[in-house]
Structures are given as C-alpha cells and as structure tokens.
C-alpha cells in the first residue's frame, strides 16, 4: 500500500509543532517532527507521537451517548442526541431564565478553531452570564495585568529568546511544559543556543526543575513568595537609580506613582517571605538593569497564587523599568497574521479593559474578561434562588479533576437538572452528563491556531488540512456548536461560516494581508520574521500609553503588607508539577504516554522525610481542610525543604468512567485536597500552589 506523508500542526500543547504524519490507508505509520516547518523545524515531544494512540484509542468516543434511566450510557445517533437536548435543556432556559444554563470550557478548546471561534456564538445564543473556564485555573492574572497595562487581554509580551542575553524565569518549566503564554517549540535547543552565545538563564522555582537544572542559576523561592521578590526587585531599581525605561518613557504613565508605592518593599524586608536573600535580590536587579538584552518571564507558578495578578504585573513592570519591554532580545509583542485584537482598530488608542461588568450571584466575585471564577461553579449550582444554575454545558473540560475540591464539583454536577458534555471521552466529568457529544480525532480535523500566534517567539502563519477523512455522519465541533446555538437562537447560528472561510477572512484583514490559499500553498507555513517593536502602535489603553501603575493593582499592596506579616508559619506547602508524558487530566489513557515509571508520586526532601518518619516508596497521608489523600513518597533533593509536590490531573479510579488504560494506574487527584475558597480576588484565578497541607506516614 502507498505511504502518504501529511503535514499536521499538533494541537496538544502551546508549542504548536508541525508534524510529519505518514499513513497507509487509514493507518498511521509514523509521526515525527516536520523538518520543513518554518516555526518548529522538526521538533516533537512524546505527546506529539501519541496522536496515533489517540486516534486509535478504543475508548475515544465516536458516537453520541445518552444516559439511560439505569444510569448507563447508550450509543445514539446525532438526531437522537439533539432531540434529547431539545427536550430537556431548552425548557430549563424557558422556565428559569438564561443564567440557569452555565458553560464550562476547558483547555483543549484553546487549541481548536472549531471550538474557540464558535463557543462565543453559543454563549451569545444562550445569553448566560454564568461562563466559567480553565482560564481561572491558569492565566487569567496575566490577561488582566496585560489588559490593564497595554489595553487588551491578549497583548502579552514573550521572551525574544533568540536575541536575549539574560532571562529571569519564574514559575515556569518549559523543558517539560514546552512553554505557556509563550509559544516556543524546542525551548531546550533555544536555551542551549542562548547559553552558547554567553547568555544566562536564572530560574526561580521551589523545585530544581528540568528547566532549572539546565539553567545557570536556580533560586529555590518559597512557594507564594513571588510578589515579595518582585517588589524587592522593583524597589531596588528605584532605590539604586536603575529605573531607566529609555524609549518607552514617553509612552508610559505612572512611573512616579509606582516609585512611591514600592517604597516600603525593600529587599531586606522581603527576604524571609520569599526565601531569596537581599544581596541576591539587589544583584539580580542590577544585572537586569545592566544587561543589553534581557527579559523577565513569569508563568503558571506565578499565576496560581493569591497575588497572581500582582505578580503578572510586576514581571512586566521590571521589563518596562529596565528598558527591556518591546526591545529586541527583551519581552516583545508578537504580531499575529490573523485574529489578533491588537492588530485591529485604531493604533495607539482604545477602550482598555473593564472588569466587574457583572458579579457572580452567590459570592459577588467580579466578572473578568466575561468569565467568573471556576472555583465558584459548585456554589452557583448548589445555592437555591433566582438565577441558580440548573443545567451545565461542559466543553472539553474536566473540572472534576482539574479544579480545586473535585468531590464538591461531583456532587454539584449530580444535582443538575441536565448536563451536556462535548467531550471525546466518557471520563470523570462527562460521566455526570445526560448527553455526551464527541468531537473528531485531531487527525480528522483541519488546524489553524487562533490564539498561539499571538504568543509566539517568532511571527508565522501556518495551516494544516485533515490527515484522514472524517467518518460518515460525524460533524465537526463547529457544526455541533452552531446546531446547539440554533436551539436557542436560530439567527446566531445561521450567519456563521465554516472555519476555512473564517480563517481566510481573518488573514486577509490581518496585518500581512495574506490569504488562506497563500498559506495552504506552502509546505510548512510562512515565516513572518523575528518579533518587531510595537509600542505605541500596539497599545489599546484609553490613554494610548502603558499604564505602569493601575489603581486597582496599587490598591492591592496593603494586602501584600498583611501577607508579609503573616508569612511563614512553618508548615508544609504543596506545589504541583507536570510531566513530559502527561497532558493535564486526559492523556493517561494513551499507551505511549502511560508506560514507564509511576508518575503520580509525592516528591519530598529527605530532610522532611526523616523528620516525618517517611522513606522512599512509603505511603504518605496528606490532609488539608477535611480532605485527605494517600500517595507514594519519592525522595529528592531537588525540592526546597518544607515543600512537597504532586502532579495534577490524576485520580482515574472514579466509577463510571471509560478509561481502561488510565484506570490501571489511576494516581490520586491532588485537587481533591485544595480549598476552593482560595483565589486571587482581582482575576478570580484559583490558588493551586503553595497550599498548606499536613503530611504524615500512613
């Protein structure tokens, strides 16, 4: 049989690698990195290879499922599934109003144009304010700080690593995660090249991660200590006369207010709370100011904290004050070929961002970027009254494992009048649904990244066609979403074209005036060059300037003072971690990733283990609030003493899920231990790291 070679962009993480997929008939023969890809140049990780297993996974859903009166699921046709949805979901909205229907959107939707570009249409048709997503488990703090500073939620600067001499990295592990809010395939190779040119990388992380081990300097920051450290660094810049924004000075508001506001936060006062001594803080501030091309980059570990928004802001404050924002080799803004709000409208002016246009019903949390904190989903379902959530549509989301207090979410889901899941598995969350509608295998779908070119280390335009024809009768997810929307508002659905038309339109209206045909004509995409300075053109703040000292952020500084007084109670702090062979909560069913050593272990420093009477392989009991977990101990000196680490996304032993392989080694759900009341009040983001736990031998 003839072997065909296909070019396919990987949808499994933010690195967006181009892959070469060889097929014979309907079989995948091999998957490797596509050498001709103008952006990823042949890089691939084990998850890319797992697309074959995903395509072939017998547990992956290929037809809709409808829950039967006995609780089991039966396969159904699409018409039957939609009839059930129409019969049960539509009346709930008629009876209880638009807000009675909530939406929860998960991570894979950021990687699928068929979901990302069409979910807004469903939201509009539903008219609900109860919109929740994984963004409040992840990057909402960075989106908020960027919105306040630069005027748009997705105007987020990224390290220009190919020209950088000094990279300070906080709370990120791109050697494993392959980058986040920074689309950078082959971080390892780029970091190596940077160091080869004499550049330096400094990593702040409570664990000596794979990224820290490969860097020049690792500083084991105390979990939750970033706000203290970053304030210490900003203070030093002012204190030592090193604050020199250079070209940006004329485009920046608030420098004097900021200088005043950070006055109390000298490194000498911050040292104990962040775990980094004052001379080191001062040295790093000086190095940052002196470097020709430098960048500060903070990611997940800095967002999933009480001061997530402050951290995200202070990272860019450092970039601005040292003249490294928007400068080659510094923190730069990509210019995407399509879909970027910061390339449309009037340059250097805009409306900025607003929050709290509405509030959550029960706790009164402000809306941010149209979303409410996902940690409040359960209470909106549980709490009776006007506007109570009675039905839920979950789209590519597994909050039972990925959000704090999963057991409470499970109970809440069970109490709904109706739940619909758009998911490719019958898993921990979708098992609670009344109807499950599957999507395509990634190999049956076209691919165009809407979000990640806005976060890429280099500008580019790429598209990939489906590898296989989709099975007869199987709709694309965009069609499923429009069909759903039409149940509530036929208008909203009818006017929306398919993805190819959408992409072509966005490319033509984009800053490079490309067409889809032009991009398709290439094998490996179009390189649009290194990042270029974009200030003031990029700014969409009402002032048309960078807002360095937004009042809502300055108003949080007294809370930092308070936390400083409360810091260090001497207990154990739990942090998370990621693994190369894992993708949040849903890839443990794929053989190529599931093999190898046990991954869901509790990492602990030998010093702590000795004190607690634990040894390698022993079982530890973790307790927090009323919850408890048992996990096998793995000793390592890579962890800061007093800190333990568990990965998230495990706990595949819940009854009713259909994940045969994952259930063989289920692991434990670390989120079952986390307190859903802890969040960054500004962005609504959950606190997932640095959480106090008690640890003992079981």
- Interface with ligand SF4 includes 329 (CB under 6 A)? no
Least separation, in Å, of the C-beta of 164 and ligand MGD?
17
Least separation, in Å, of the C-beta of 38 and ligand MGD?
22
Out of Mo ion, ligand SF4, ligand MGD, none, which partner does residue 439 contact, by CB within 5 to 8 A per kind?
ligand MGD
- 3-state helix/strand/coil string of 403-427: CCCHHHHHHHHHCCCEEEEECCCCC
Q: Per residue in 265-285, is it b (16+ CB within 10 Å) or e — as a string? A: bbbebbbbbbbbebebbbebb
Which candidate, 183, 187, 233, places its Cα nearest to that of 212?
A: 187
Among 138, 205, 428, 556, binds Mo ion (CB under 5 A): 138
Least separation, in Å, of the C-beta of 325 and ligand MGD?
20
C-alpha distances out from residue 499 to 86, 453, 525, 560, Å: 25, 17, 18, 46
**Among all residues, whose Cβ is closest to ligand SF4?**
48
DSSP string, 221-242: PPTT-HHHHHHHHHHHHHHTT-
Least separation, in Å, of the C-beta of 485 and Mo ion?
26
Least separation, in Å, of the C-beta of 130 and Mo ion?
21
Least separation, in Å, of the C-beta of 178 and ligand MGD?
6
CB of 209 or CB of 360, closer to ligand MGD: 209
Q: Which residue has the tokens 């979990």?
A: 223
Least separation, in Å, of the C-beta of 385 and ligand MGD?
27
Per-residue x/- mask for ligand SF4, residues 2 to 31, rule CB under 6 A?
Answer: --------x-xx-xxx--------------
Query: Which pair of tokens denotes residue 410?
Result: 């499970």
Out of ligand MGD, Mo ion, ligand SF4, none, which partner does residue 634 contact, by CB within 5 to 8 A per kind?
none
| Element containing residue 61 per DSSP (H, E) | none
Least separation, in Å, of the C-beta of 10 and ligand SF4?
3
d(CA 380, CA 403): 15
CB of 103 or CB of 546, closer to Mo ion: 103
Least separation, in Å, of the C-beta of 311 and ligand MGD?
8
C-alpha of 330 from chain center: 22
Out of ligand SF4, ligand MGD, Mo ion, none, which partner does residue 17 contact, by CB within 5 to 8 A per kind?
ligand SF4
Which candidate, 644, 651, 627, places its Cα nearest to that of 576?
A: 644
Least separation, in Å, of the C-beta of 209 and ligand MGD?
4
Scanning residues 135 to 194, which ones bind ligand SF4 (CB under 6 A)? 178, 185
CB of 44 or CB of 531, closer to ligand SF4: 44
Out of Mo ion, ligand MGD, ligand SF4, none, which partner does residue 173 contact, by CB within 5 to 8 A per kind?
ligand MGD
- Burial (Cβ within 10 Å: 0-12, 13-18, ≥19) of residue 379: middle
Q: Interface with ligand MGD by CB under 6 A: which residues?
A: 13, 106-108, 112, 134, 137-138, 170-174, 176-178, 180, 204-207, 209, 221, 223-224, 226, 299-302, 305, 395-399, 402, 422-425, 427, 429, 439, 575-580, 582-586, 648-649, 670-671, 688-690
CB of 388 or CB of 685, closer to ligand MGD: 685
Between 278-290 and 267-274, two packed helices, what is the crossing angle to 10 degrees?
110
Out of ligand SF4, ligand MGD, Mo ion, none, which partner does residue 152 contact, by CB within 5 to 8 A per kind?
none
C-alpha of 637 from chain center: 28
Out of ligand SF4, Mo ion, ligand MGD, none, which partner does residue 48 contact, by CB within 5 to 8 A per kind?
ligand SF4
Out of ligand MGD, Mo ion, ligand SF4, none, which partner does residue 15 contact, by CB within 5 to 8 A per kind?
ligand SF4
d(CA 257, CA 243): 13
d(CA 188, CA 161): 11
DSSP string, 133-189: EGGGGTTHHHHHHHHHHHSSTT---EE-GGG-SEEEEES--HHHH--SSSB-S-HHH
d(CA 324, CA 282): 18
Out of ligand SF4, Mo ion, ligand MGD, none, which partner does residue 16 contact, by CB within 5 to 8 A per kind?
ligand SF4
Least separation, in Å, of the C-beta of 42 and ligand SF4?
11
Count interface residues toward ligand SF4 (CB under 6 A): 12
d(CA 259, CA 531): 30
Least separation, in Å, of the C-beta of 114 and ligand MGD?
8
CB of 236 or CB of 456, closer to ligand SF4: 456
Per-residue x/- mask for ligand SF4, residues 35 to 64, rule CB under 6 A?
Answer: ---------xx-xx----------------
CB of 303 or CB of 546, closer to ligand MGD: 303
CB of 186 or CB of 428, closer to ligand SF4: 186
For 460, what's the count of Cα atoms within 13 Å in the CB-facing half-sphere?
Answer: 30
Q: Which residues contact 664 (CB under 8 A, 6 or more apart)?
A: 594
d(CA 614, CA 597): 20
CB of 427 or CB of 541, closer to ligand MGD: 427
Out of Mo ion, ligand MGD, ligand SF4, none, which partner does residue 12 contact, by CB within 5 to 8 A per kind?
ligand SF4
Strand stretches in 423-502, DSSP E: 435-437, 458-461
Q: Which residues contact 315 (CB under 8 A, 6 or more apart)?
A: 170, 230, 296, 297, 298, 302
Which residues of the chain form contacts with Mo ion (CB under 5 A)?
A: 138
Which residues of the chain form contacts with ligand SF4 (CB under 6 A)?
A: 10, 12-13, 15-17, 44-45, 47-48, 178, 185
């Amino acid at each position: 049989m003839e072997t065909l070679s296909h070019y396919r962009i990987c949808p499994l993480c933010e690195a967006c690698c181009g892959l070469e997929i060889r097929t014979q008939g309907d079989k995948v023969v091999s998957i490797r990195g596509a050498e001709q890809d103008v952006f990823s140049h042949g890089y691939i990780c084990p998850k890319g290879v797992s697309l074959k297993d995903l395509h072939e996974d017998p547990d992956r859903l290929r037809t809709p499922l409808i829950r039967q009166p006995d609780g089991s699921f039966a396969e159904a046709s699409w018409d039957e599934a939609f009839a059930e949805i129409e019969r049960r979901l539509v009346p709930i909205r008629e009876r209880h109003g638009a807000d009675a229907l909530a939406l929860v959107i998960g991570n894979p939707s950021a990687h699928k144009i068929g979901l990302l570009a069409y979910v807004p249409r469903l939201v509009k048709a539903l008219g609900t304010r109860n919109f929740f997503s994984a963004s409040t488990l992840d990057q909402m703090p960075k989106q908020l700080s960027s919105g306040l500073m630069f005027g748009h939620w997705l105007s987020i600067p990224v390290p220009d690593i190919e020209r950088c001499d000094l990279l300070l990295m906080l709370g990120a592990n791109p050697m494993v995660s392959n980058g986040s809010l920074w689309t950078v395939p082959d971080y390892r190779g780029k970091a190596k090249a940077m160091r080869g040119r004499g550049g330096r990388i400094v990593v702040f992380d409570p664990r000596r991660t794979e990224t820290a081990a490969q860097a020049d300097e690792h500083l084991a920051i105390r979990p939750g200590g970033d706000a203290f450290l970053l304030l210490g660094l900003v203070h030093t810049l002012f204190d030592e006369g090193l604050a020199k924004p250079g070209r940006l000075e004329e485009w920046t508001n608030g420098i004097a207010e900021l200088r005043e506001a950070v006055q109390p936060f000298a490194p000498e006062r911050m040292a104990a709370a962040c775990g980094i001594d004052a001379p080191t803080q001062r040295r790093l501030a000086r190095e940052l100011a002196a470097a020709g091309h430098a960048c500060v980059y903070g990611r997940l570990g800095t967002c999933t904290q009480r001061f997530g928004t402050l951290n995200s802001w202070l990272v860019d404050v450092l970039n601005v004050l040292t003249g490294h924002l928007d400068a080659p080799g510094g923190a730069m803004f990509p210019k995407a070929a399509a879909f970027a709000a910061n390339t449309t409208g009037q340059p250097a002016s805009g409306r900025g961002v607003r929050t709290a246009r509405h509030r959550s019903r029960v706790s009164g949390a402000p809306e941010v970027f149209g979303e409410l904190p996902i940690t409040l989903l359960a209470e909106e379902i549980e709490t009776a009254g006007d506007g109570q959530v009675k039905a839920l549509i979950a789209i590519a989301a597994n909050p039972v494992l990925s959000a704090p207090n999963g057991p409470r979410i499970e109970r809440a889901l069970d109490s709904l009048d109706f739940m619909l899941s758009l998911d490719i598995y019958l898993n921990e969350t979708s098992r609670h649904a009344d109807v499950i509608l599957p999507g395509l295998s990634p190999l049956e779908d076209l691919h165009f990244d809407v979000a990640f070119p806005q976060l890429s280390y280099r500008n580019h335009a790429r598209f990939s066609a489906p590898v296989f024809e989709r099975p007869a009768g199987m709709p694309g997810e965009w069609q499923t979403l429009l069909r759903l929307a039409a149940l509530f508002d036929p208008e909203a659905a009818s006017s929306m074209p398919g993805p190819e038309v959408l992409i072509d339109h966005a490319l033509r209206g984009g800053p490079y005036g490309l067409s889809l045909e032009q991009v398709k004509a290439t094998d490996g995409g179009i390189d649009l060059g290194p990042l270029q300075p974009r200030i003031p053109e990029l700014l969409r703040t009402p002032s048309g300037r960078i807002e360095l000292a937004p009042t809502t952020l300055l108003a949080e500084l007294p809370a930092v003072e308070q936390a400083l007084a409360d810091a260090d109670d001497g207990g154990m702090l739990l942090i998370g971690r990621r693994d190369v062979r894992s993708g949040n909560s849903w890839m443990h069913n794929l053989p190529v990733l599931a093999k190898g050593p046990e991954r869901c272990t509790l990492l602990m420093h030998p010093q702590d283990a000795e004190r607690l009477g634990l040894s390698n392989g022993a079982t530890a009991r973790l307790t927090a609030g009323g919850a408890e977990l048992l996990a096998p101990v793995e000793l390592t000196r890579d962890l800061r003493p007093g800190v333990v680490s568990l990965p998230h996304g495990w706990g595949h032993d819940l009854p009713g899920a259909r994940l045969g392989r994952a259930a063989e080694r289920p692991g434990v759900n670390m989120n079952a231990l986390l307190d859903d009341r802890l969040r960054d009040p500004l962005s609504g983001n959950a606190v997932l790291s640095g959480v106090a736990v008690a640890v003992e031998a079981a």
